Amino acid sequence: MSVRIKSTAISRGGDTHSIVEHSGRAAAQSLERAGIRADQVGLLINAGIFRDSNTVEPAVSALIQKAAGIGLEYAKDDPRTFSFDLMNGAVSVLNAVQVATAVLETGSAEHVLIVSGDTHPSLARSAADEEFPYATCGTALLLERTDEPVGFGRVHTAAGEGSPAVEAYVDVSTMGTVGRGLMTVDREPGFDDRLLEVALEAARNALAEADGIALSDTALIASTPTPEFPAKLAAALGIDQQSVRTPDLSEGDPHTAALTAAYDLAVADDTMTGFSQVLFVAAGSGPSAAAVLYRLPAFAGASA
């Protein structure tokens, strides 16, 4: 048994900068694409970090669950959907894949929905700038069990030493009465090189489980702390630049949404054809990284 991607979806732009709304819309769209009812989702994991108005309570996953219309029945025998936030920077989505795999392997859920995405807490803009380098973008990744020889392998993680390379915080000494709309992001000089180092460690460990599949048959989808990061990672791994798939970066780094957004775009553009597997790599604050191989079906992602 393994775990595969049933469908993906993305929401950005339009009439809102709310990550709750965008993640909820992406979640609902992913269910519609898959032909799955809301009551077939046993678990929803929110892997986003930067949220509307710096919300702390309730869990943002519950707000997204409500926005998506999942698990809103309250009669005695109605199905239940559990949800929670999983926060580990840009690595959160692959950590959520680890959790989802464990849950699905036990048979305690039919489907697991991973939502991710970030927004500026002021809800006043969607594009990145020098002070806040993240774009507003919500995504959904719907997972299910399968007996076919496809799906996710083992998630490998890596961590660097020293300072975290990237930090985000609300500065309580200067926030005054507007702290719910502020966020400070500090990126050290050379932060991307430090992220690349841990990303390479995780990626190489994942590739060691490739079961003889050549790098030429491997597509790379990586997080985008800088626009050049996926290309640099590919070069260091020996993966052809033409095999790199990236999300829409026109408004900046989608951060926790980057992996799902890139996969969704590649499937929509039919650019997975010819590949046997995808190497997903995420790297962010810590510095920390995670990587996993995803074995594609013979029709290269057509089901998603």
**Omega within 30 of 0 (cis) for the link into 189:** no
Residue with tokens 């990586």: 222
8 Å CB contact between 184 and 168: yes
Give the amino acid at 205. N
Q: Tell me if domain 2-149 and domain 156-295 are identical in fold.
A: yes
pLDDT at 91: 97
pLDDT at 303: 38
Report the 10 Å Cβ neighbour count for 37: 12
Length of the chain: 304
Domain boundaries, the chain: 2-149, 156-295
Give 167-176 pLDDT, tens digit per residue: 998 887 777 7
CATH topology of domain 156-295: Peroxisomal Thiolase; Chain A, domain 1 (3.40.47)
Give 106-125 pLDDT, tens digit per residue: 988 999 999 999 999 999 99
CA-to-CA dists, residue 113 to 44, 100, 140, 144, angstroms: 5, 8, 7, 9
CATH topology of domain 2-149: Peroxisomal Thiolase; Chain A, domain 1 (3.40.47)
Give 279-298 pLDDT, tens digit per residue: 999 999 999 999 999 999 87
